Structure 1
Amino acid sequence: MKRQVELFLIVLLPILALIFLGGKIMNLTKRPEQKITTTSSKKVVQKSKEEIKKEQIAVLKEHEQEIVDFVKAQNPKVESVQIDWDETQMSDGGLSTPEYYMNVFGRINHIENSGWGVDIPINDDQSINMREMFMLHEPTIDGKPIS
């Protein structure tokens, strides 16, 4: 009987250790989904995801010219860039990439059926990382690259 208990513990302990370590790793890489809490000397302030998004869009609007210049640089036929701020959204990189991004979309040359998309990384402190902006999809007209 003692031997059976020992064998049971030998098998069970590594499994429990893996479960415990896996949970700890998940907590280290997980970002808060709903609320961000900031503290001050007087009180705790909680911001909703929507409030954070509004603040991040305000920062993006301050850098609007950088975004416009970046999109224009993708193709010499892009003369003007229109940003659709209502379509701007926050997203994550999916299973393989735990980073979060602001997805910015718009049109080019005032053409209704044109489009482009830019991803801008969000840092761990919820700030926007304009230096690492990249094209989500190149400027297109009718879903086709500009030729």
Structure 2
Amino acid sequence: MKEHEQEMTEYVKSKNTKITSVQWDWESIEIQIVTPNAGGIPAGSKYKKLSIDGGFNEINDSNFLLSFVMSDNNQPEIESMYIQQTFRVGGKIFNG
């Protein structure tokens, strides 16, 4: 993932113009198996996703969650990255 740090950072910054820097928590990387559902009813095939926590603008209690779909060979698909949890500071949504 570290080899894609610049791409990840640029992606995050593109989602909110008030974010000028991103800090990654490399120890937070987690891989999960996801079972899509529609109101509790399984809908679709299971897949793996990778998530990493981040902070921004050097704010101590800032956070967000960036996720990726994992390929069949267990590599994160960079083009699939998405913000899973929005930008927050102290638990409240960041408005800048």
Q: TM-score range with shorter-chain normalisation?
A: 0.7 to 0.9
Corresponding position of 1:112:
60
Q: Give 3-state SS (helix, strand or coil) of 1:64's partner.
A: helix
Distance in 2 separating the partners of 1:81 and 1:72: 8
Structure 2 unmatched ranges of 5 or more: 38-44
Coordinate RMSD, CA, aligned: 1.3
Deviations 1:81-133 (A, max 9, x none): 00000011111213535110110111101111100111111111112200011
Corresponding position of 2:83:
135
Distance in 1 separating the partners of 2:51 and 2:69: 9
Structure 1 unmatched ranges of 5 or more: 1-59
Distance in 1 separating the partners of 2:6 and 2:27: 18
Structure with the bigger percentage of helix: 1
Task: Determine which structure has more spread, i.e. the larger CA radius of gyration.
Answer: 1
Q: Give 3-state SS (helix, strand or coil) of 1:91's partner.
A: strand
Structure 1 residue 143: Cα displacement: 1.5
Structure with the bigger percentage of strand: 2
Distance in 2 separating the partners of 1:91 and 1:83: 19
Q: Give 3-state SS (helix, strand or coil) of 2:15's partner.
A: coil
Q: Give 3-state SS (helix, strand or coil) of 1:87's partner.
A: strand
Contact 2:67 2:84 in 1 (8 A): yes
Contact 1:74 1:139 in 2 (8 A): no
Distance in 1 separating the partners of 2:15 and 2:68: 16
